[in-house]
Amino acid sequence: MPRKKGQKPRHEADLAGVSSRAAPKVAVLKGGISVEREVSLTSGRMCAAALREAGFEVVEVDAGRDLPARLAEISPDVVFNALHGRWGEDGCVQGMLEWMGLPYTHSGVLASALAMDKIRSKEVFRAAGLPVAESLLAPRSEIEADHVMAPPYVVKPHNEGSSVGVYLVMEGANRPPKLAPEMPDMLMVEGFVPGRELTVSVLGERALTVTDIVTDGWYDYNAKYRAGGSRHVVPAELPAAVFDACMEQALTAHRALGCRGLSRTDFRWDEARGLDGLVVLEINTQPGMTPTSLSPEQAAHCGMSFADLCRWLVEDASCHR
């Protein structure tokens, strides 16, 4: 329903009175119970420090099973979601915050759930006309018994992030991968796309820039989060048509899933195929906010400090996303 003349946007209404206070109270959710807990702890600490620098009253919350009670006790004006992985990034915490009536940052329930489920998000991307890699969902028993797809291919959980549990099966491999015991029973098998690793952050309705992620090998968990694990070229040195396509497709992906706040879309680009070699891999609705993270780096390239980025996310928060 369109807003009436003079009516504030929903997120402004949710935050009515917050901006007029000397120090609005922000609860920063960090840690959590997913396999990405350590990354989230780092993201949360960084965001909390930036928000204090920006003038907010900040309470850091390690999100456990008692999270509803903790938030009821704290009674924050806004919840800054710095969680990563399942329960914090897949719509679960978002639904709880909606039920409690608390304005929060980043994407809402549906967009978060769709983005975390890589199979379903690919279906949305295809419907939006975005290029995606061939993929299928298969039981781990079948994946370990024989090749379910002609190599090269990648095996990974269909509902995790941060390159957790990713197996690359190269062309000519005689055997399928032997998976770690902690891997789930159902996994995504995706055709391997050769080429360069590119990424674009979208803030609100603006694609920021393209980053070329340079590594010595696979862009895995260590390459993402360990100092020196990768080198980021910002902005990426690409043909203008490829650069522009990345920016446009990231914005399309953000809108197609109904993302809010900040998202980051990852691509692979096979230079030998030109523009046809560009493929959307996935979208992240809770991009990392660590010293080696990509979205803060892109925001800085556009002239936005880390404190200003965190402030923007708080001011964009709402309860119905």
Which tens digits make up the pLDDT trace of 247-280?
Answer: 999 999 999 999 999 999 999 999 999 999 999 9
End-to-end CA distance of the chain, in Å?
14
pLDDT of 94 above 90: yes
- B/e letters for 7-27, b = 16+ CB within 10 Å, e = fewer, are eeeebeebbeebeeeeebebb
Q: Given this model, what pLDDT does residue 2 score?
A: 35
Give the amino acid at 61.
Answer: V
Averaged pLDDT for residues 113-124: 95
Spatial contact of 126 and 145, defined as CB atoms under 8 Å apart = no
Nearest 5°: CA angle at 147, between 283 and 223? 40
pLDDT of 20 above 50: no
Band of pLDDT at residue 7, cut at 50, 70 and 90 = very low
Q: Given this model, what pLDDT does residue 299 score?
A: 96
pLDDT of 65 above 90: yes
DSSP state of 318: B
Q: Given this model, what pLDDT does residue 107 score?
A: 98
Q: Given this model, what pLDDT does residue 133 score?
A: 95
The CA-atom distances, in angstroms, between 111 and each of 237, 286, 321 are: 31, 11, 9
Token couple for 236: 């990426």
Q: Given this model, what pLDDT does residue 13 score?
A: 38
Band of pLDDT at residue 1, cut at 50, 70 and 90 = very low
Band of pLDDT at residue 63, cut at 50, 70 and 90 = very high
d(CA 25, CA 227): 32
Band of pLDDT at residue 97, cut at 50, 70 and 90 = very high
Q: Given this model, what pLDDT does residue 32 score?
A: 92
Q: Given this model, what pLDDT does residue 59 score?
A: 98
Give the amino acid at 187.
Answer: L
Averaged pLDDT for residues 35-52: 94
Residues assigned a catalytic role: 36, 162, 225, 264, 266, 282, 284, 288
Q: Please, which residues bridge with residue 59 across strands?
A: 27
d(CA 168, CA 166): 7
Interval 282-307: pLDDT, tens = 999 999 998 779 999 999 999 999 99
pLDDT of 99 above 60: yes
pTM comes to: 0.86
Q: Given this model, what pLDDT does residue 215 score?
A: 81
Helix crossing, 109-116 with 240-257: angle to 10°?
120
Helix (H) or strand (E) holding 78, with range, is strand 78-81
Say which residue, 180 or 316, is predicted with more confidence: 316
d(CA 216, CA 232): 12
Q: Given this model, what pLDDT does residue 218 score?
A: 52
d(CA 48, CA 313): 12
Token couple for 269: 């680009």
Q: Given this model, what pLDDT does residue 182 score?
A: 84
Q: Given this model, what pLDDT does residue 164 score?
A: 59
Closest CA to 320 of 102, 157, 151: 102
pLDDT of 231 above 50: yes
Q: Given this model, what pLDDT does residue 179 score?
A: 92
The CA-atom distances, in angstroms, between 260 and each of 28, 159, 184, 289 are: 18, 20, 29, 17
Averaged pLDDT for residues 20-33: 85
Name the percent of the chain lying above pLDDT 70.
87
d(CA 150, CA 162): 25
Averaged pLDDT for residues 99-114: 97
Averaged pLDDT for residues 178-193: 92
Band of pLDDT at residue 184, cut at 50, 70 and 90 = confident
